[in-house]
Structure 1
Amino acid sequence: MMSDVQARIEELRDILNRLNYEYYVLDQPSVSDAEYDRYMQELLQLEGEHPEYMTEDSPTVRIGGRALDVFEKVTHKSPMLSLGNAFNEGDLRDFDRKVRQAAGEESVSYVCELKIDGLAVSLHYEKGRFLQGATRGDGVTGEDITQNLKTIKAIPLRLKEEVTLEARGEAYMPKKSLEKLNEEREKKGEMLFANPRNAAAGSLRQLDPKIAAQRNLSFFVYGLADLQERTIASHSKALDFLDELGFKTNTHRRICQSIEDVLAFVQEWQEKRPSLDYEIDGIVIKVDDYELQEQLGTTAKSPRWAIAYKFPAEEVVTRLVDIELNVGRTGAVTPTAILEPVRVAGTVVRRASLHNEDLIREKDIRIGDYVILKKAGDIIPEVVASLPERRTGEEQEFRMPEHCPECGDELVRIEGEVALRCVNPVCPAQIREGLIHFVSRDAMNIEGLGERVITQLFEAELIRTVADMYRLTKEQLLALDRFGEKSASNLISSIGASKENSLEKLLFGLGIRHVGAKAAKTLAQHFETMDALRTAGEEELTAINEIGGKMAESIVAYFANEHVQELLAQLQEYGVNMTYKGLKLSDIAGADSYFAGKTVVLTGKLEQMGRSEAKKRIEELGGKVAGSVSKSTHLVIAGEAAGSKLDAARKHEIEIWDEARLLQELSK
């Protein structure tokens, strides 16, 4: 039998959950803040006196629990894909045409939703209780940020039904919260958040949930990724169901029966955008019918049944007061505009890249000019043009220097490139930027080693190469400003943990010219060890799909360098892993099948199985399913109403199968 204390605790939780729902989801508070606080204080006191009744879904966890040492990795049950972009009416009509062609219908129903400028997150509920929340990450693997998400009052800790599901949505920072946060950071001399997305991401990636709790984030659920023991036929019905469960969905959504209705919705919210208390950067258009979504399938990166229309960038006028030079990790010297602070697309902008001297000449940009500024994609500040009619005669033309602003060596322009480069291998700026790249998220992902700390360590002459990081001691860190016992210990632990990363992380972190994160994964999967890769020749490298001649030449030259060989020996001595830990080509199920190592393109409608199921089966058998036909395509599988991809396959004389031939091969 439940005791009086336990009954009162449950009653208070029910009251606070209801009040949170009214305030943060319905925006219809029924009590004053003071009354809410009284309920919360009573619950905190009772739980403190009776910890045996404490639960993980109590409203008190929203205040923020204990700090974490590191975020655990989470593998998503199904990939969190990014959306393809549309920038004009023609892009949207083209999307609609392809959807209708695949569906074989004259018109298709779409759901239009506001595109929130925040951080994509997945939420897992078990029998109605919030179990785990994770960031999108790279789409396959994210980070467990459950404790931070619990501090967002718009996320229900208990649903109104005991269902097991995965919902996906967007954590965001309201405009007023961002303004307040940046004001506080400016007073402290800290770097300001550039936009609401960065602010939300920065808040949810705090290891201390109490900090996240102070940031006043909110949340919109935008989709149902998995629902057990129930069938829902459409996206709009799924959103209605999520409403019923107590989630906060964005009510500014509309079911559109034609592309004309979609265009009208886009125009409406382009005009009404400033009236919202949160930032949006476009409209998301999704096919409503789930069966049609399945039929349309996905590419490697994005669904074919959805697209994001990006609003045109807002343009403002400000004054360019100076041009600074920055030397990157590859030696490229980039001019940066220093601007009179101006608000654009929701944040204050003070700097913008000018890319290279040729662009400055082309746009006739001078120091002292009034210039038109916008944010490309509402994110990256860009100087669009100068306003010569506003010149006073005091403006100065800009000339790139002949020598590196960091080390003084002569700058060179490599044939075929626009940028001037410093080719001094010991240039301090290049070394510092290379170190920052090495510890970045897509590379070795060393928590606590951001740009500020790298600069601090570099200036203290504690690190000069990436290998130096692995011989840092806690005592050395404690001697530096802003390092305490806990932060020093955490950083040493993070550095130690990075030694266990798979080979592709190290390859990307080394900054080999032309080798991005995707190519690093391809190389690591193919060669499996650093020793096998560094002895490979150009011919062996170019035989690998996606590795071209320019990249192969760069890889061979990199590993031939004596300094690189010495660096790798040091890293190996310090215990840094140099083998691939992922799924090896030799271990892929069905490696002896027809599809092993082949690139396949699916086109048209498959009658016996959905395109997504066909893609899954082919990949299980070692094949790669691509979204377009190229010279590297081995096979095209053409279903009913196949279009331009089938034509391209014929043109390139690529093998073509029908669905019957595919089913025959899959049945072996």
Structure 2
Amino acid sequence: MTDNFAELRREWDDLAEEVRRHRDLYYNSNPIISDAEFDQLLAKLQQLEDEHPELAVPDSPTKEVGAPVTGSFDDVEHLERMMSLDNVFSEEELVNWLARTPGPYLTELKIDGLSINLVYRNGELAQAATRGDGRVGEDITANARVIEDIPHALQGDFPELVEIRGEVFIRPEDFPELNAQRIEEGGKPFANPRNTAAGGLRQKNPEDVKKRRLHMVCHGIGAREGFTPATQHEAYEALKAWGLPVSEYTKRAETAQEVVDSVRYWADHRHDAIHEMDGVVIKVDSIAQQRGLGATSRAPRWAIAYKYPPEEVTTKLKDIQVGVGRTGRVTPFAVMEPVFVSGSTVSMATLHNQSEVKRKGVLIGDTVVIRKAGEIIPEVLGPVADLRDGTEREFIFPTLCPACGTRLAPQKDGDIDWRCPNTRSCPAQLSTRLTYLAGRGAFDIEALGEKGAEDLIRSGALVDEGDLFNLSEEDLLQTKVYTTKAGKVNASGKKLLDNLTTAKNVDLWRVIVALSIRHVGPTAARALAGRYRSMQALIDAPVEDLAETDGVGGIIAEAFKKWFEEQWHRAIVDKWAAAGVTMEADTSDEVAQTLEGLTVVVTGTLDNFTRDSAKEAIVSRGGKAAGSVSKKTDYVVAGENAGSKETKARELGVPVLNEAGFITLLESGAAQ
């Protein structure tokens, strides 16, 4: 029994020390593991204590908030302790918490930044501090004064004393430029925006803090005198009136189901916010109820953080290789040790171009931070530079195409991307063009995937995409993907031939997309097909005339015209036409252009439209389906959980429609 306890104690000691080390790195330096990996360590320690209560001690990391201050700033004691939050990781855990914690509630986005505590006395900013261990933080008042979002003086009817809690962050859109600047100045690259914000807030010179483009959002109150709000919502309204920044994403939820609905909504819209977020915080709105529920040694019982599956993890970068795309663009990609992130195991991630590799400062052999947002291809954010041991090496961009051996070069002076100029015969370009034209946005050929496309080219069944619609069973016998071991066409091969017959009858704009003309995507293709109505009319149109098409412009028009100057390109179109592929717009079911000249933004969840079908409905009627709201927006369609776009529309005076109003707009071109 004694030996067993000694073994358990050693396990606890090792795990507690590891948790403390990584917590200190998170709050006082640069973390070397992801938030999700830290959560797993802490949960393992908590489970060990739950199973063996005799191991738990008063100063266990499971009972601590933040980390002790280890920097060179002066210590400052918070007027009221800054608590942490308990986490739940599943809907079931959330529902259980809601069942024992009565509402109404507020739902707030959990910002991935650095906590800050502001003290205002008689309306003047008297002190700013980091969280520290929850009781004592670092005095960063001078640095806080240069963050534009933090007012030096409150406005309106403010109290004698108020302690404000908030989160300092860097917008994801600012991060690449800031990191590039850091690398250029000879510094180590930061792995993510959160690290950059943390490092920025601790700069010795406030002028250096300015360069980090830091922002702040308030998410709580501490000590106060002369201010007694009844609810958390009322407190936020007061903060806003005093000139402090509050989140536009916070919502009141009357019921537990509304909370669950909000959590589900933000799971699909994690990247719609202006800051990085990794979960939703749920708070009891009534401050009287908050007091009644109380707190544990580290967290309030009246609040919980629902954390989403990680989108950021760390792994080893084994190599950097390059791939060749359908337009000849050569793209570096990371080959990594397999790692589970955002619902799947990944071993490759994009690095965009050779300039981006240098800008991010990644070396082969680095431990890197990667992100996978939903179904998007994983992306390398940056290296964990503190883990380098000297064996890492720089990536050298190749001079020859890895698929065909042709010398690589920019298409024109000033291009960031390098390309393989062997457009017609490069097998990598041919197979990726085939895969692209088989996609949903073009011919939608279900039986033609990446492996099938590569096999058709490698086997010689196709020389290029021009003969695609002339494929026969005899041609497919040359392949491996579309034949059986007995040497006959298999079910996939027969399905491919059936799909090709059906695909001939797609809309003209999809045929234009399928040609893989540089810059010509679905929006431009729709506009061109809608205006000219036939492929021949498009071929004959002068570039100046093409450029006048709404949504096209000079660059796309020139690219379109230049593509048809190549005889083998024209041959593709001629072969498709001879095979019976659509070359003229069908006027029999032409959709009335009720939205011509109108810009419409759709936000939130609709009952009868997906995001893609709503966009299709707008564009097919001549409208522009925009992603953001501005003064030029004509209508905003707001479904359930519409969020900030609806708020901004109302602030700008843009008409906001419900789903019924949207249907009326589609039919008549006007909201009634």
What is the TM-score normalised by the length of structure 2?
A: 0.45
What is the TM-score normalised by the length of structure 1?
A: 0.45
